[in-house]
């Protein structure tokens, strides 16, 4: 058997992820969104060519995005592996420099300055912007 992932194992993992509590409750809204039909129309099986066409275009677009992400990640991984020694050496130099700065042997004044972005918004507005940013970040994290 070894390290091979069989088709049956991959299919079973897909089915398990589909029936997970995070995905299954969203399924009716997902179907309505893809087909452009209400849930009752979908439930009554009044599918038409438009619904199938919407579904196909959605799946093709979704697949293309993840295929492009996969190719990009593979390309970036190849570059990192190809230049692993150089990255390791640069990282070592950077760690030594940081250590010398913390020890006080090196002193770069431009690194010791604090810079803040003034937005001109009130404190309440800034809190709201921070809250939306935090919620957006949580949503991206939960989706990923």
Summarised one tens digit per residue, pLDDT across range 42-59 is 677 666 777 778 778 888
What mean pLDDT is reported for the chain? 81
pLDDT at 18 over 90: no
pLDDT at 143 over 70: no
Comparing 67 with 3, which gets the higher pLDDT?
A: 67
If one counts every other C-beta atom within 10 angstroms of the C-beta of residue 3, the result is: 4
Return the closest-CA partner of residue 34 out of 66, 14, 59, 67.
Answer: 59
Give the dihedral of Cα atoms 63, 65, 70, 75; nearest 10 deg: 140
Q: What is the pLDDT of residues 105-136, one digit of tens each?
A: 988 887 778 777 666 666 666 677 777 677 66
Mean pLDDT of 28-52: 73
Mean pLDDT of 22-49: 74
Mean pLDDT of 33-50: 72
Position of tokens 């275009």? 57
Q: What is the pLDDT of residue 119?
A: 65
pLDDT at 1 over 70: no
pLDDT at 21 over 80: yes
From the number of C-beta atoms within 10 Å of its C-beta (0-12, 13-18, 19+), residue 55 rates as: middle
């Amino acid at each position: 058997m070894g390290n091979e992932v069989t088709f049956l194992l991959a299919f079973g993992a897909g089915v398990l992820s589909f029936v997970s509590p995070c995905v299954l409750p969203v399924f009716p809204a997902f179907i309505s969104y893809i087909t452009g039909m209400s849930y009752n129309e979908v439930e009554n099986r009044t599918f038409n060519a438009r619904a199938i066409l919407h579904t196909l275009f959605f799946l093709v677009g979704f697949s293309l995005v993840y295929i492009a992400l996969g190719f990009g990640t593979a390309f970036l991984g190849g570059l990192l592996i190809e230049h692993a020694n150089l990255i390791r050496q640069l990282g070592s130099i950077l760690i030594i420099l940081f250590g010398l700065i913390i020890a006080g042997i090196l002193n770069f004044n431009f690194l010791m300055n604090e810079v803040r972005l003034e937005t001109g918004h009130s404190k309440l507005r800034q809190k709201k912007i921070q809250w939306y940013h935090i919620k957006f970040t949580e949503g991206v994290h939960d989706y990923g």
